[in-house]
């Protein structure tokens, strides 16, 4: 039992691993990619979590519930990453994971995406206080939200420290600037389909790494792909905006 726990979570306590990641520019590029994907895919979840706290009567209780929620998210992310790092070594898990990520992409582009966000706490009589029922609700949602993020992150980098740092920063950024990110995504609507396009690429990356194919795309190279995707998306947005402005000018002249 203790040997298994050591295998799952030992890498998190390897100081040399942390030093290598923190001092590596390529690793920080990967971390940036993980944070970006986390924010783009999970911002609506952050808004829902914040909305769930509105049932609490005071601002102090709402802030306190989100404080507990974010620490719970960190703990669950740590636990899920440890299990994921172990399971991702089995090629069967890679195939299932790639299929699941591809399924998410197909759902999005077919406009049949099923929202993870759902009411987990009933309006019926509670056996615990309203405050703790909201906190439990937030924690349950965090577990559900973590599965997609961790699976996608491990497909990009197998290093648990990189995935942990990316996840922690992503959670903090998502909670802190959810409204700002939503506003940015309304201004640049191409960002959301770009994110799901990257998820499809991550699925392919995960699938081709199975032993029968054995093609490994380095995490740093995928980080460059993510940066290139962002730049191309912004260029497409600017071109479309100018084209709409030009078409509008022609219509006014007519």
**Position with higher pLDDT, 142 vs 135:** 135
Helix axes 191-207, 219-253, angle to 10 degrees: 150
* CA pseudo-torsion sign 61, 146, 78, 24: negative
Instruction: Look at residue 239 in the predicted model and tell me its pLDDT.
Output: 93
207-212 own/partner pairs: CB under 8 Å, 24+ apart: 207/94, 207/95, 207/98, 209/94, 210/91, 210/94, 210/95, 211/91, 212/91
Poorest-confidence range of 71-80, 135-144, 157-166, 221-230? 135-144
- Listed as own residue / partner, the contacts of 119-122 with beta carbons closer than 8 Å and 24 or more positions apart are 121/52
Stretch 112-133: mean pLDDT, rounded?
57
The number of domains in the chain is 1
How many other C-beta atoms can be found within 10 angstroms of the C-beta atom of residue 123?
A: 7
Q: When comparing pLDDT for 212 and 50, which is higher? A: 212
Closest by CA to 223, choosing from 56, 2, 67, 27, is 27
Residue 61, pLDDT above cutoff 70: yes
User: What is the tens place of the pLDDT at every residue in 24-46?
Assistant: 888 998 998 888 888 777 766 66
How many of the other CB atoms lie within 10 Å of CB of 57? 10
Q: Angle between the 191-207 and 91-109 helix axes, to the nearest 10 degrees?
A: 160
CA-to-CA dists, residue 244 to 194, 234, 248, angstroms: 20, 15, 6
Q: Is the pLDDT of residue 150 over 60?
A: yes
- What is the span of the domain harbouring residue 109? 2-253
Tens-digit pLDDT profile for residues 194-230: 988 988 999 999 999 999 998 988 888 888 998 899 8
Average pLDDT, the chain: 81
């Amino acid at each position: 039992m203790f040997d298994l726990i050591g295998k799952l979570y030992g890498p998190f306590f390897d100081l040399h691993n942390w030093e290598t990641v923190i001092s590596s520019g390529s690793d920080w590029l990967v971390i940036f990619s993980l944070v970006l994907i986390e924010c783009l895919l999970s911002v609506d979840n952050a808004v829902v979590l914040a909305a769930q706290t509105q049932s609490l009567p005071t601002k102090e209780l709402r802030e306190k519930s989100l404080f507990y929620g974010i620490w719970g998210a960190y703990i669950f992310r740590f636990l899920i990453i440890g299990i994921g790092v172990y399971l991702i070594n089995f090629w069967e898990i890679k195939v299932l994971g790639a299929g699941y990520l591809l399924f998410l992409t197909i759902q999005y582009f077919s406009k049949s995406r099923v929202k993870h966000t759902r009411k987990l706490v009933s309006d019926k009589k509670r056996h615990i206080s309203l405050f703790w029922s909201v906190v439990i609700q937030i924690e349950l949602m965090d577990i559900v939200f973590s599965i997609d993020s961790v699976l996608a992150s491990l497909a990009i980098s197998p290093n648990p420290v990189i995935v942990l740092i990316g996840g922690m920063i992503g959670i903090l950024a998502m909670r802190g600037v959810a409204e700002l990110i939503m506003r940015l995504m309304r201004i640049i609507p191409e960002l959301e389909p770009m994110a799901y396009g990257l998820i499809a690429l991550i699925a392919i990356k995960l699938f081709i790494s199975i032993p029968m194919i054995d093609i490994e795309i380095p995490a740093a190279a995928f980080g460059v792909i993510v940066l290139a995707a962002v730049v191309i998306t912004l260029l497409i947005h600017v071109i479309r905006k100018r084209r709409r402005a030009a078409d509008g000018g022609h219509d006014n002249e007519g």
